[in-house]
Structure 1
Amino acid sequence: MTTELEARALHLLQTVFGYPAFRGQQADIVNHVASGGDALVLMPTGGGKSLCYQIPALLREGVGVVISPLIALMQDQVDALEEVGVRAAFLNSTQTFEETLRIERLVRTGEIDLVYVAPERLMTQRCLDLFEDSRISLFAIDEAHCVSQWGHDFRPEYIRLSILHERFPDVPRIALTATADQQTRDEIAHRLQLDDARKFVSSFDRPNIRYSIVEKTTGRKQLLDFITTEHPGDSGIVYCLSRKKVEETADFLNENGIRAMAYHAGMEYAKRAENQARFLREENIVMVATIAFGMGIDKPDVRFVCHLDLPKSIEGYYQETGRAGRDGMPASAWMAYGLQDVVLQRRMIDESEADETFKRVLGVKLDAMLGLCETLSCRRMRLLDYFGEASGPCGNCDTCLIPPVSFDATVPVQKLLSTIYRVDQRFAAGHVIDVLRGVQTDRIGQWHHDALSVFGIGNDRSEQEWRAIVRQTIALGLITVDHEAYSSLKLTDAARPVLKGGQKVQLRQYQKPVKPKRAFASSSKGYEEMELSKSEQAIFDKLRWWRVETARAHGVPAYVVFQDATLREIAKVKPTSLDQLRGVTGVGEKKLVSYGDEIVGIINEML
């Protein structure tokens, strides 16, 4: 039996936000928090986390306080709420003193529904006093994984958020994140004093994302081929490890006809903010960035996320790829990965100033990431298993679409290990491979390595094949890279049984890159790609042009007006009256009033 609270929540969902029904655990979370309960919510990007605190804030007396780590995104979050008729504002360092006073007055008098603050601002005495003098409906801690020192995005100021429990014991708190393994979840609950909070863990699966990891050969050229063949004209994000590589990759894409911008922490703040605003507000732009870019990115129509360097952990990879396809439409997560990535990440861990315990944790996380890259099974299964979720083959990743071939690599690995031993474990991968393949170089002659018994014993394989074998052997922990000795390869204790013939080794067969068939999985996988007829496509294109002009006039990102998914549904439904438009997902009452006549006019004009 539906309670009055549940009925009010559903009414808000339909009339304000324009959605017909709650998804997954949303209804349970909303009811729990609106009733005064604390919650820890793990929900994938695009799963509708925001509604889990926005609707309870509207249902409860007082102002909802949202703690968000990125002030650069607060304006867009507030714009999106104002577009649907919710009274929202933010408090951050970009405002004038007069504007700050005005917002503080609205909070004190309760003339506002939601206010966004950064954790640093929240911790000021002025802000804490403001909230103690006001009626607060709830505290929402977004991107809660930032509290974890073991996580991929640690922010020291998040640890102090336990003060909310101490100073506001009667105000419900909801902590939300899209990425957390069990260790990180436990740490979030402990540090935020949410041990007794109800835990809501949704599926981590993003069935609309196709995961692909390819052998890195030409890097940027592979990226260009991927974008031009798979996602021409689409918005996307490309992640690189260094600032220099970000700049070079953005320049390369621009030189080859793709609109690209750079984003990294070394840029001036104003330029960084300008590029982020352009990416959010314009279409068909590729953002090339370090991991400094991305947390909380709300742009729903990012069609691809690419990695030109190996992420440090599966959490980081999942968080970054999760920025693709937030609208539920098909999207791609593509990575080019090679031996140098493994060597570089190992070196970064070894050379970091962290203590040995922390280095060990980083090593375990990197090993899990390498396992995902080298898996012979479904990538999605491996990804979900990391977060403790069982699943079957997805049919929508590269290993499902083009199954890799495994082979008994015991003899080649023995040859590799023997060669490393014979060159006294003093040389890097390139030199070892030259010895294996019998390549005569000045360096080989200088060290008389052409006289070794192992010289040329691997000449039946190409350099790329041997690089793949070296990379996988490092991933298996049979060899390691000594960064203090010019990245020389060294044997580990685990190599001994393989060398002695007591342990077999299965590896992934090197295959030249093959482009998978461009066919996304069916709606049985949890989403549906809306194929449009020629006439529907014409309506959709017209609506998108209208949206661009409307967004520009309102000074907001295009997706704040309507998401692509909503425009597609309008193109299929072809509503010729406001009543017909009212039933379309994403069209709430405020947007019906604001834009309904124009949209109906466009439809009638094109029919």
Structure 2
Amino acid sequence: MRNILKQYFGFDKFRPKQEEIINSVVAGNNTLGILPTGSGKSICFQVPGLKYPGLTLVISPLISLMRDQVEALNNQGIPAAYLNSTLKKREIDSLMANLEAGHYQFLYVAPERFNNGEFTNLIKRLDVPLIAFDEAHCISKWGHDFRPSYQSIIPILKSLLPDAVTVGLTATATLEVQENIQELLDIGMENVFTTSVARENLHLNVNTTYQREQFILSYIQGKPGLSGIIYAATRAEVEKISLFLTDNGVDNVIYHGGLGKEERNRNQQQFVTGDTNIAVATNAFGMGIDKPDIRFIIHHNLPGDIESYYQEIGRAGRDGQVSECILLSSPRDINLHQFFIDRSSSSEQYKDHMRAKLDRMIQYNRTSKCLSSFITKYFDPDEYVEECLVCSNCKNSERSYDMTGEAKTIVELTRNCELPLTKEQTIQVLRGEMTENVTSHSLEQVESFGRMDSYLTSEINHLLEEMVLRGYLHLEEEHLYTVSKSEMILDGDLTLKTVPFRKHFNEKVDISTASSPNELLFRKLAETRTLVADKYNLTEEDIFTDATLREFAKKMPASKQDMVNIQGVGNYKLKHYCPHFLETISAHQESVFVTE
């Protein structure tokens, strides 16, 4: 394998996990590789494709991606071709004849090509030992770029080529997407190979400025000669930003679906060759672009999910040099995403899934914790992470609250407990709550029980997340564990600071002192909101505002039908959040009735 790597691609050694994936494929195993953008995923099917006799069939989602990869293979003396809608009939006829004659080692096709009977009949007659799904997340209905045609061809391929080995490759697969791909492509867990999505050379930044165009202009003017992409959500915004930059003397090209094919290709080529350093584009731009020296990527708008954002920023710094990834946004971005989700013709289940993804993107935009760790944990909740020290949050000068004392208490509890605790149990023990979660394991007897009884649930949750995302605790399979770095806290070797987060400092809040039944219920509802916000990793305001909770307390709705008429309750919140509040209201009414 190393000889093929050196002979055709000029590399002396494989990158992490490449060799393991290749060995699995060559051994005849259906295989899944999840590698960061820019880490050489195509090598993982090209090397075994060169070892196998016959044709490797590559299922690819984009015409530009096919063209670029085929051109690169041909330049290396490897016979490859693509078959898509850009070819004329005589070109297709010639290509099919060459396929029949065995002239190609690689054929790139879009999934829609399998609707053509002439093509499928030809494929059935050919020697095709290997099928590669490039951008394999497109297979999964839970992937951020799901394509039904990708999924629909799987049974066709199994029927046409029952003995072929299948390899899927992607950079953006959550555990849910990974499991879905495994099921669809018959891939065992032992043949799944992943590396961390973290890329140390990408410096992440969230900027809350309202003057987004001016920020972009000033940033580019401060980085003369550097190559970068500015992503915008709509064609109109692309045109607007491009015109603003041009008017201020910044040369740039644009790219979006409204341009003609020739203009898109010309603009892309200008950017790739370095004739123009700046591209302003929608998210249609970038997949498959082989430009290693993109030094910055700025998002003018909030993307709809973290997978899309990660894939887009992954186009920066492929040469391994430091590159900046800056996220700008406005409140209107969230409303626009919600509007498109609501108006979608997709199933309610899928809409709910997209709303959950949007919620996580909003959390990324608002979190005060390490941005790199946040993304890593999103893709693999069980991966151990440490703060990157270079993102805008790690460098935030507002980290002024000394949390060293609280951190020591948390580490002592986690280390000294005989059984690993979940975050929920940890919070309940520290707050001194006599819940079944606590008493069933006799956790009320531990020394740390009630030691942080003046803290809100959300406040302890903030501390736990801070410690996990900075590497002082490890969260795996929903349980907390100490690590070697935890000892630094116990030894007093460091001071740990976070952004100010406390709402109450000295007294424990006793809701029984409420002055009226409505006020008492409001406080109970506020506690419920805290728990729900922790469950969904959202801010409390994202669940319901105080005004909405006061309406709940005043009107005491008994059903979802009652709740939907209250300001601030939409379909998504009605389904996911309201049951928790209905339960609180019902329990409150029962307690009042018993008292009376």
Residue of 229, 236, 241 corresponding to 1:237: 229
Question: 1 CA distance for matches of 2:544 and 2:76?
Answer: 54
Residues 1:206 and 2:199 aligned together: yes
Deviation, 1:324, is 1.1
SS of 1:398's partner is coil
Gaps of 5+ in 1: 1-8, 412-470, 497-607
Counterpart position of 1:599: none
* 2:119 pairs with 1:127: yes
Cα distance in 1, alignment partners of residues 398 and 103 from structure 2: 59
2:23 aligned with 1:31? yes
Q: Which amino acid aligns with 1:50?
A: S
How far 1:477 sits from its partner (Å)?
Answer: 5.1
Specify whether residues 40 and 123 from structure 1 end up closer, same or farther in structure 2 by C-alpha distance, changes over 3 A only. Answer: farther
Residues 34 and 56 in structure 1, CA contact (< 8 A), matched pair in contact too: yes
Aligned match of 1:407 in 487, 496, 500? 500
Offset at residue 132 of structure 1 (A): 1.6
Contact 1:159 1:192 in 2 (8 A): no
Match of 1:365 among 352, 357, 363: 357
Q: How many residues align?
A: 424
CA distance in 1, matches of 2:106, 2:142: 31
Question: How far off is 1:474 after superposition?
Answer: 4.0
1:57 CA displacement: 0.5
State the one-letter code of the partner of 1:181: T
Q: 1:184 aligns with which of 177, 186, 198?
A: 177
The amino acid across from 1:168 in the alignment is L
1:271 maps to amino acid: E
Matches within 5 A, 1:310-329: 310-329=302-321
Q: Distance in 2 between matches of 1:84 and 1:403?
A: 50
* Counterpart in the other structure of 1:581: none
Equivalent residues of 1:109, 1:134 under 8 A apart: no
Answer yes or no: is 1:80 the counterpart of 2:72.
yes
Q: How does 1:565-604 map to 2 (within 5 A)?
A: none
2:60 to 49, 58, 68: 68
Q: Which region of structure 1 is more displaced relative to structure 2, 45-54 or 471-480? A: 471-480
- Which amino acid in the other structure matches residue 398 of structure 1? S
| Distance of 1:377 and 1:153 partners within structure 2 | 27
Residue 133 (structure 1) shift: 1.8
Q: Aligned equivalents of 2:157 and 2:569: distance in 1?
A: 51
Distance in 1 between residues matched to 2:153 and 2:397, nearest whole Å: 47
Q: Against the structure 1 CA distance between its residues 122 and 299, is the aligned structure 2 distance closer, same or farther, given a 3 Å change threshold?
A: farther
Cα offset, 1:25, TM superposition: 0.9
| C-alpha spacing 1:24/1:363, structure 2 compared with 1 (3 Å) | same
| Cα shift readout 1:510-550 (whole Å, capped 9, x = no counterpart) | xxxxxxxxxxxxxxxxxxxxxxxxxxxxxxxxxxxxxxxxx
| Matching residue's letter, 1:34 | V
Q: Distance in 2 between matches of 1:321 and 1:198?
A: 28
> Which residue identity does 1:147 align to in structure 2?
I
**1:157 paired residue number:** 149
Looking at structure 1, the residues matched to 341 and 103 of structure 2 have their Cα atoms a distance apart, in angstroms, of: 50
Moved more, 53-62 or 336-345: 336-345
Aligned residues of 1:210 and 1:397 also touching (Cα < 8 A):
yes
Superposition deviation, residue 196 in structure 1: 7.3
How far apart, in 1, do the equivalents of 2:118 and 2:194 lie?
35
* Counterpart residue number, 1:173: 166
2:207 match: secondary structure: strand
Give the distance between the partners of 1:334 and 1:122, measured in 2 at CA.
40
Measured at CA, do residues 270 and 213 of structure 1 come closer, stay the same or move farther in structure 2, by a change above 3 Å?
Answer: same
Shift of 1:126: 1.9
Letter in 2 for 1:76: D
Corresponding residue for residue 135 of structure 2: 143
- The alignment partner of 2:394 has SS state of helix
Alignment match, 2:36: 44
Q: Which residue of 2 aligns with 1:568?
A: none
Equivalent pair of 2:232/2:300 in contact (CA under 8 Å): yes
CA 1:489–1:261: 2 relative to 1, 3 Å? farther
Q: Which residue of 1 aligns with 2:385?
A: 391
One of 198, 201, 212 as aligned partner of 1:219? 212
Taking the TM superposition and a 5 Å limit, the aligned residue runs for 1:454-469 are none
Residue in 2 that maps onto 1:297 = 289
The verdict on how the C-alpha distance between 1:95 and 1:490 changes in structure 2, with shifts beyond 3 A counting, is closer
Sort the Cα spacing of 1:101 and 1:215 in 2 relative to 1 into closer, same or farther, 3 A.
same
After TM superposition, give the deviation of residue 11 of structure 1 in Å. 0.6
Q: 1:161-560 maps to which residues of 2 (within 5 A)?
A: 161-162=153-154, 163-194=156-187, 198-229=191-222, 231-388=223-380, 389-405=383-399, 406-408=499-501, 410=503, 474-475=541-542, 478=545
Which residue does the alignment assign to 1:96?
A: 88
Cα deviations by residue, 1:99-157 (Å, 9 ceiling, x for unpaired): 32332233222222212111112442222222222222311110111122222212221
Deviation of the 1:358 alpha carbon: 2.2
In 1, the alpha carbon distance for the partners of 2:372 and 2:544 equals 23
Distance of 1:287 and 1:32 partners within structure 2: 39
Matches of 2:287 and 2:395 in 1, distance apart? 30
Amino acid at match of 2:387: P
Percent sequence identity is 36
Which of 166-175 and 48-57 deviates more? Answer: 166-175
Write the distance in 2 (CA, Å) between the matches of 1:383 and 1:330: 18
Q: Determine the structure 2 residue equivalent to 1:566.
A: none
Q: 1:10 to 1:349 in 2, by over 3 A?
A: same
Task: Deviation per CA, 1:186-213: give whole Å up to 9, x if none.
Answer: 2222334446782111211111111001
The normalised TM-score by structure 2 is 0.66
Is contact 1:37-1:173 (8 Å) kept?
yes
Could you say what secondary structure the match of 2:500 adopts? strand
C-alpha distance 479-308 of structure 1, shift in aligned 2 (>3 A): farther
TM superposition shift of 1:335: 0.9
Closer, same or farther: CA 93–353 of 1 in aligned 2, 3 Å: closer
**Larger RCO (CA under 8 A, 6+ residues apart):** 1
Cα shift readout 1:488-518 (whole Å, capped 9, x = no counterpart): 867988999xxxxxxxxxxxxxxxxxxxxxx
3-state SS, counterpart of residue 401 of structure 1:
coil
Does the 8 Å CA contact 2:144/2:308 hold for their aligned counterparts?
yes
- What is the Cα deviation at residue 233 of structure 1? 1.9
* Residue type at the aligned position of 1:393: E
- The one-letter amino acid of 1:291's match is N
* Alpha-carbon distance between aligned partners in 1 of 2:502 and 2:124, rounded to the nearest angstrom: 66
Structure 1 counterpart of 2:392, which letter? D
Residues 38 and 197, structure 1, Cα contact 8 Å, conserved in 2:
no
2: CA distance between counterparts of 1:399 and 1:196? 35
**2-structure distance, mates of 1:410, 1:347:** 34
Residue by residue over 1:566-595, the C-alpha shift from the partner in whole angstroms, topping out at 9 and shown as x without a partner, is xxxxxxxxxxxxxxxxxxxxxxxxxxxxxx
Judge conservation of contact 2:138–2:147 (CA < 8 Å) in 1.
Answer: yes
SS in 2 for 1:400: coil
Distance 1:72 1:480 in 2: 51
Per-residue Cα deviation, 1:337-372 (whole angstroms, up to 9, x for no partner): 233333433344344444432232122111211221
TM-score computed with the length of structure 1 as normaliser = 0.65
In structure 2, C-alpha distance between the alignment counterparts of 1:53 and 1:29, rounded to whole Å: 9
